[in-house]
Structure formats: C-alpha cells, structure tokens
Structure 1
Amino acid sequence: MRATPYAAKGPKMGQGRARAAIDIDDIDFSDLDFWDRPLDEREAAFALLRARPEAAFFAETEDFGAGVGPGYHVLARHADVQEASRLPHVFSSAPGIRIGQKPPVDFEIFDSMIEMDDPRHARLRRIVSRAFTPRMIQRFADDVERTAARIVDDVAGRGSCDFVAEIAARLPLRIICDLMGIDEKDHAFVFERTNVILGADDPEYTDRFDDLPTAMMDAANGLGDLLGDLARVRAERPTDDLTTALINANPDGERLTRQEIAAFFVLLVVAGNETTRNAISHGLVLLTDHPEQRDRWASDFDGYARTAVEEIVRVASPVVYMRRTLTRDHVLESGQRFAEGDKVVLCYWSANRDESVFDDPRRFDIARDPNPHLGFGGAGPHFCLGAHLARREITVVFRELFRRVPDIRASGEPARLRSNFLNGIKRLPCEFTPAG
C-alpha cells in the first residue's frame, strides 16, 4: 500500500529550500542524493519508515571493490534500535558497521573494538577502561577548560570565523592529541588524515585520489605509525599521558598489543574527534535557528547545561547509523522477523525523532527531560566509551562562547558532509561582536 505523502515545511538554517512532498518511493538510504535533501524532507521520510509495520529493505551498492551485497533492513524506531543494541550476541558488529561489503583485504589498522563482539570486545574495553583512572579523568576536565578558553580567545577579537575549522574542530582534536601525548606539530596531520577516513563519500576529500581504499589505508596507517612511534618512546620514557597508561594497563595479566593501541588511537581520533566536532557545529546552527532557546540557556547556563547538551546530541545525531548482522534467526518484540545473515541498520538519527518516545520530536527544546536519545549509541556494550568526555567538551565550549562572544550566530548555510553515515558539517560561517 502506498503511503500518504508528508508535506515539507519551510526551511531554517541548514535545511535548504523546501521541496515537494515526499512518499515512500522517494526514499533510498544508500543514495547519497537522498541525504542531500532538505532536513524537513528527510524527517518526513523517516516518519514514513517508522510508521511501516516492517523494517524497510534497501539495496546495496558496490563498496571498495568487494562486490554488491544482498541488501539490508533499516530499523527506524527507537524501541527496535534499543532492543537490537542490547543483543550483541544476535546483532553482531564483527562483519562490519557500515553499509556495503567489507573489503576483501584485512585492514588491521581498522580492527578496533567498535567492530568486535565478545569476548574480544570485552577484553579490549576492559583494558582500555582501566587506563581511564580518576587522575586521567580529572585531567580531561582540566584540559577541556583550558583548551576551550584558548580557542575562543584566539577568535574573540575578530568578529567572524569559520566555526568548524577554528572552534568546533579544534577542541576535540586538541584534547585527544594532548591526552595521547601527540606533539602539537602533528595535530594538522591527524586532522587531515581523519577527514580522509570519514569523508570517503565526499568528493571534496576524496576526488584527488585515484584509489580511495588505498588512500583510506594510507591515512589510517599514517595515524597508526604516528602512535606506534610514540608508544615506543613512552615504553622507554613514560609520562602521565594516555599512551603511557594504555601501554601499562594490565588488568588480570592482559596487555594491549602495539597494533591494538594503534587501532584504538585511530578509533579515538576518528570517533572522538569527528562526532564531537559535529555536535558542537550543529549546536550553533540550532541556537541560531531557535533564538528563544538560546536566550533561555543564556539566562541560566549551568541550570540548563545538562539538558541542553543532551538535546543538541539528540537533534544532531552525529552518527546516523551503525550496521549489524544477524548471527541467528530472530524476532523482535515488534514482530519483525530476521534470518541468520540478514544485515540491519540501526538508524539512531531516526530513532531520535520517534514520535512515540519524544514529545514533538522536531522541536528543539533545551529543557527536554527525560531525553532517552541514542546519540551515543543504544544500550549495551557498544555504548560510546567517550560519551562523558564529549558531553564535557560540548558544555565547556558553549560556556566559553556565551561568556566571551555571547551574540555569536551562524551567518550562512552550513556546508554539509556528503555522507549517509555521519551527519557532518564541513564549514560554517559565524559572526559575533568582537570581544575587547
């Protein structure tokens, strides 16, 4: 049965010009052109998917020379995504977390715990968690405060800047590099290699490469080599950085190998840098589009900080989805049946707009509470290990902005990353009254 079209509303910042109504035949999760459509149209499309009695099925496209896969189902409802997240033994991460076939070669540098099942995942997470000591966590807090203040001070007197490059991207990148002990001269190298890995679908980052898989491998291996060299130095001359802590973490007689440390670093700079950068960037767009919410937060920053940050993450949903593969036949509580080997996509972006969970989900409300969003992943062992740090960074950077340049606003349309995996913003012009 053909679904009733859902009419798009007028655009706000970042939404582009509203187009015609959308129906179920217009939706193609794999088609990047679909993700270039205005926000209102994409929201309408996923409302249609959530209303379907069964998960929609989409075809795959060729990916990295691995051939065309059999297709995948999209879990668009909050309850289904949560249920699948709690059953990692049924919904496996090991066969891959992206749409498409895994490459035919073994990319060891990408072999991080985000693409592992237990017991390998549990072992790595246990060792890594032990490295995050109370002293290290306190260092997180202190470093974020100092770094955010320096970053805002660098632009406060100018009156305008590219918010992504000069504020949103600098904070998480510097925090992660400083925690790992990466020298400042290498920060630009880390930033550029991260963009290659995560911008694989965006021509701006990849058109210069004749062989994209090789370019991604070179970028990842470059990051791994940087960390490997540092690990060798820290083995001889330990300091108080995270690299030293990871080398020495030894719960129950287990240690990380050098390869595992390098893979963890790639995961950390890719996931921890890109997702927080995009949450902060979307935050400015949202506060510009909703000045009443901005004024509300400014009136009592600390009183609203917790709920405001959670609402930014909900609406932004920096990671659009994660893929899972069925290890056995399974029936969800909603009645949806899957067979062993089926691929399913856990669409956090859609789940965070589920009308059955969030009152008026299209409304940006910094006081929304409760807010059971899935912006850091669903419940279960793959919940984001860096969620606490991300929340801290978002809070601190907006506190500094409200303090130093309180009238900062987005002054033009955001340049969006061409991707169905990340809800990314590449550039965002902003203006403010220069601070004295």
Structure 2
Amino acid sequence: MSTTTDPRLIDVEFWRLPLHERMAGIAEMREVAPFVEASFANPLTGVTESFRVVTRYDEVVEISKRPKDFCSGQGAVSIPDMPAEALDFFGSFINMDDPRHARQRGIVARSFTPRQLQGVLDSVETICTEVIDGFCEDGEVDLVQALSQPFPLLVICDMMGIPRSEFDTVLEATNVILSGGDPEFMGDGDPMMALFEAGMRLTTLMNDLAEERRANPTDDLTSKLVHNELGEDMLTPGEVAPFFILLAVAGNDTTRTAISHGVNLLSQNPDQRQAWLDDVEGVAPTAVEEIVRVASPVTFMRRTVTHDLTLSGTDLHEGDKLVLLYGAANRDPRVFDDPESFDVRRDPNPHVGFGGPGPHFCLGAHLARREVSVAFRQLLTRLPDIEVAGDVVPLDAQGIPLVGGIKRLPVRFTPSAPVGG
C-alpha cells in the first residue's frame, strides 16, 4: 500500500501542537505510506480541495528534481489554487516554471551571490548587535518580539534600501501574508481582502522605492535589480514588487522561525547547548544545519503532477496536488540516524530544510545560514544562560501553515551590558 489517509492533516489543532508532538504524529503517517491523502472544503470558495502529502525523503527529493513532471506554476505552491492574478503577486518566481522561472531567478541570482551580497553579510553582524543591545539589560523578554522578528527583517529592509521608518509597515504586512489565517494578524474582515491589502501595501512601497532608485541609484539591492550596465536582462517594473514580497515574507519568516525554534531546542536539550557553548565557532556550522533540519521552518511546498505517471508504486494523475512535507522528510529514519534527536554535531546532514535539490532550492540559503549563525553566536556569548521561561505560543494557523512559526517565546537570562557604539 503506497497511499493512505489521515484526518490529522486537516485538523487545525494538530498543526498547533508543540513541534515534537506534531512530528511524532507525522512519523506515524510516514511509516504507513509515502503518500497520505487528505481533502477539505475550502472556506473561501466552498470547493473541496484534495491533495496528497509526501512524507518520505526519497520522494521529496525525486519530485523536487523533476520540475517537468511536478510543476510549480499550475495553481500555486500553496495547497488551494490561487487566482491567476494573485500567483505572481504573492509568489514571484517560486510560482513559476521555466522559461519564466529561469529568467527571473537568473536575474535575481546575479545580485544574490555571496560576493555581491558581501556588504549585506557583513551588516548582519552589526544589525544583530544592535537588536540584542536593545534588550540585553532586561533579563526577561519575548524573544520573538525582541530578536527573532526584527533581526532578519531589518537585514532585508537594509539590503533593499527600505528606510527604517517603513519597518513597521513591512512587518505588519508580512505578518498578515504568512499568518496562516491567525486572527491576531488577520483581523475580523475578509481574509482574502486582508491578504491583498497587505500585498498592495508592500507593492506600493516597493514601486515607489524602485522609481526613486531608477532616478537616483545607490548601492542597495533594489538599485542592482533596476539598473544594469552590461546590457543584461533585468526585472520589469511589474516584477520588482513581487520579488520583494517573496524576499520579505520568505526571507524574514523562515529565519525568524529557525531562531525561535533553535532557542527552544537548546533549552530542551541542555547537553547540546553545552556542547555548542564549549566550542561556539567550531560547532556553529553543523548546529545551524541541525536547527534547520529539526525545525524545518518551511512546512511545505506544493507541486502539481503534469501528466499521468507512477512514483514509488503509486499511480499519479495529471492535476494531482502533491504537498512536500519537509519536516517529515528531514526525520526519515531511512536517511537520518536517530532522526528525532537534536544533535548539534550531526554530520552528514543532507536535510531538505531549504527545499529539495532542483531549480527551486532556496536562493537565499547562504544569507539565512549567516543570520542564524550570527544570532546564536551572539546569544551564546552574550547571554549564555538564556532559557525558555514560559509557554511557547504557536501560530494560530487555520490549516497547514506554510511556515510553522512560534508567535511568542518568553525567555530569561542574566542581564548584560550593550556592546554597540
């Protein structure tokens, strides 16, 4: 049997469980079959949405490597199809297939290499110091509000050249887009209207900035995307804002979630925290990868079957929706020894926390690694006894969240003095 069904997949309470409990349930599904079927009535359309969750590592990797058989551009990478006008608006090139995908990703990739982003990578250290300076004397804070939320978003805003005065605008809009329908962020109105309004706020902000940079270029990423000196292709005016929405949402919330889950994991595993404390620089590379593996901040991406085929003994049909469950793949015992254990020295660690191999592998993985590494090096050296001091509050998602976020994480630590100038 290669397919099964499990009602937990559409149970909102299941997706609000603590990480280890949720993953224990997913492990049960994974051992029954590589594909788990589910369906639900879409509250926005009234249409029944059917999909299959992909639970095992080999299948997630295989599907990721075959974009012609399992595409990203039909409907959405979210589970329900999105209106055509919303696809590019919210997803930029993650919702595209070649040749459109290759063109846009190629343009962005020219300005997104480690060499091109060296100034941004250097600024990560300065921004992290600034953010920790803001709360290091308090002794007790909500780490999401104090660090996990502002730090990566400030990096992105500075990288794009967005003034600090617009930080709250970007924060509020991105919280709506990746809230998973959490009422705290969505408000009482129509959910789709809230999403489009958030997208429009970011689009207006970015279009105004791009127009300014065309007239007065600087050395930020926005200027690089709207200018070229070599006759190379560049993003059209209509493509700049969707790319920024992708960057602000995906690049912010994933790193935010990795930092929050990482602090919680270290608090739950004091032996691993001590191992990292004993060799902060030496352990950091493997520890960062382990946080991404265990937390798997991006819960899923969807692919759509482009023609009838068979995979792992399962007959799939054109139009079938496959939901790649990265957290399930990252704990597959067929690939990872003792997969439920958090081991900061784990090596090798071929996780798919940045997506599977293929054209949609995370373009900003090197920046995310840098941000998580810097955040934990500074936390471990400046606030070495930091620990969780209360209940972890998950995102109040109304379904399977695209990013499995922590909304609040109370921590305490011995106060220390600011170090910034």
Measured against the shorter chain, the TM-score band is over 0.9
Q: Secondary structure at the match of 2:323?
A: strand
Q: Report the equivalent of 1:350.
A: 328
Per-residue CA shift, 1:385-432, capped at 9, x if unaligned? Answer: 110000000000111111211111111121101232221011111100
Q: Is the 8 A contact 1:130 1:249 kept in 2?
A: no
Q: Secondary structure at the match of 2:396?
A: coil
RMSD (Å) for aligned C-alpha atoms: 1.9
Q: Report the equivalent of 2:144.
A: 164
Residue 195 of structure 1 deviates from its aligned partner by 0.5
Q: Secondary structure at the match of 1:97?
A: coil
Cα distance change of structure 1 residues 381 and 250 upon mapping to structure 2, 3 Å threshold? farther
Amino acid at match of 1:245: K
Matched, 1:277 2:256: yes
Greater Cα offset, 106-115 or 219-228 = 106-115
Per-residue CA shift, 1:258-310, capped at 9, x if unaligned? Answer: 11110000000000000000000001000000011001000001110000000
Which of 393, 404, 409 is equivalent to 1:428? 409
Q: Is the 8 A contact 1:109 1:221 kept in 2?
A: no
Q: Is the 8 A contact 1:227 1:265 kept in 2?
A: yes
Q: Is the 8 A contact 2:5 2:36 kept in 1?
A: no
Greater Cα offset, 70-79 or 277-286 = 70-79
Q: Secondary structure at the match of 1:426?
A: strand
Cα distance change of structure 1 residues 152 and 54 upon mapping to structure 2, 3 Å threshold? closer
Residue 40 of structure 1 deviates from its aligned partner by 4.2
Q: Report the equivalent of 1:4.
A: none
Larger RCO, structures 1/2 (Cα 8 Å, 6+ apart): 2
Which of 167, 172, 195 is equivalent to 1:187? 167
Greater Cα offset, 191-200 or 101-110 = 101-110
Cα distance change of structure 1 residues 247 and 74 upon mapping to structure 2, 3 Å threshold? same
Matched, 1:174 2:154: yes
Greater Cα offset, 275-284 or 252-261 = 252-261
Q: Is the 8 A contact 1:61 1:100 kept in 2?
A: no
Per-residue CA shift, 1:152-173, capped at 9, x if unaligned? Answer: 1111111111101111111110
Matched, 1:360 2:341: no
Whole-Å Cα distance in 2 between the matches of residues 106 and 406 of structure 1?
45
Q: Is the 8 A contact 2:6 2:38 kept in 1?
A: no
Q: Report the equivalent of 2:61.
A: 82
Q: Report the equivalent of 2:391.
A: 413
Amino acid at match of 1:424: G
Q: Report the equivalent of 1:122.
A: 102
Residue 48 of structure 1 deviates from its aligned partner by 2.2
Gaps of 5+ in 1: 2-23
Q: Is the 8 A contact 1:69 1:100 kept in 2?
A: no
Q: Is the 8 A contact 1:127 1:249 kept in 2?
A: no
Residue 105 of structure 1 deviates from its aligned partner by 5.2
Matched, 1:402 2:380: yes
Residue 315 of structure 1 deviates from its aligned partner by 0.7
Cα distance change of structure 1 residues 63 and 266 upon mapping to structure 2, 3 Å threshold? farther
Cα distance change of structure 1 residues 70 and 169 upon mapping to structure 2, 3 Å threshold? closer
Which of 222, 237, 249 is equivalent to 1:258? 237
Whole-Å Cα distance in 2 between the matches of residues 135 and 104 of structure 1?
36
Whole-Å Cα distance in 2 between the matches of residues 316 and 88 of structure 1?
26
Whole-Å Cα distance in 2 between the matches of residues 224 and 428 of structure 1?
31
Q: Secondary structure at the match of 1:235?
A: helix
- Correspondences of 1:279-358 after superposition (within 5 Å): 279-332=258-311, 334-358=312-336
Q: Is the 8 A contact 1:321 1:348 kept in 2?
A: yes
Greater Cα offset, 284-293 or 124-133 = 124-133
Cα distance change of structure 1 residues 92 and 147 upon mapping to structure 2, 3 Å threshold? same
Q: Is the 8 A contact 2:176 2:198 kept in 1?
A: yes
Residue 130 of structure 1 deviates from its aligned partner by 1.1
Residue 132 of structure 1 deviates from its aligned partner by 2.6
Cα distance change of structure 1 residues 349 and 285 upon mapping to structure 2, 3 Å threshold? same
Q: Secondary structure at the match of 1:58?
A: strand
Cα distance change of structure 1 residues 42 and 134 upon mapping to structure 2, 3 Å threshold? closer
Q: Secondary structure at the match of 2:210?
A: helix
Residue 50 of structure 1 deviates from its aligned partner by 1.5
Whole-Å Cα distance in 1 between the matches of residues 123 and 308 of structure 2?
47
Matched, 1:57 2:61: no
Which of 373, 379, 388 is equivalent to 2:351? 373
Cα distance change of structure 1 residues 26 and 124 upon mapping to structure 2, 3 Å threshold? closer
Q: Is the 8 A contact 2:70 2:306 kept in 1?
A: yes
TM-score normalised by length of structure 1: 0.90
Which of 138, 147, 166 is equivalent to 2:127? 147
Identity %: 48
Whole-Å Cα distance in 2 between the matches of residues 288 and 304 of structure 1?
17
Amino acid at match of 2:185: Y
Whole-Å Cα distance in 2 between the matches of residues 367 and 160 of structure 1?
29
Q: Secondary structure at the match of 1:59?
A: strand
Per-residue CA shift, 1:21-53, capped at 9, x if unaligned? Answer: xxx876431221221234444223222222224
Whole-Å Cα distance in 1 between the matches of residues 139 and 91 of structure 2?
43
Q: Secondary structure at the match of 1:32?
A: coil
Q: Is the 8 A contact 1:160 1:432 kept in 2?
A: yes
Whole-Å Cα distance in 2 between the matches of residues 61 and 264 of structure 1?
31
Q: Report the equivalent of 2:12.
A: 32
Residue 254 of structure 1 deviates from its aligned partner by 1.6
Cα distance change of structure 1 residues 116 and 104 upon mapping to structure 2, 3 Å threshold? closer
Q: Secondary structure at the match of 1:324?
A: strand
Q: Is the 8 A contact 1:311 1:366 kept in 2?
A: yes
Whole-Å Cα distance in 1 between the matches of residues 10 and 79 of structure 2?
8
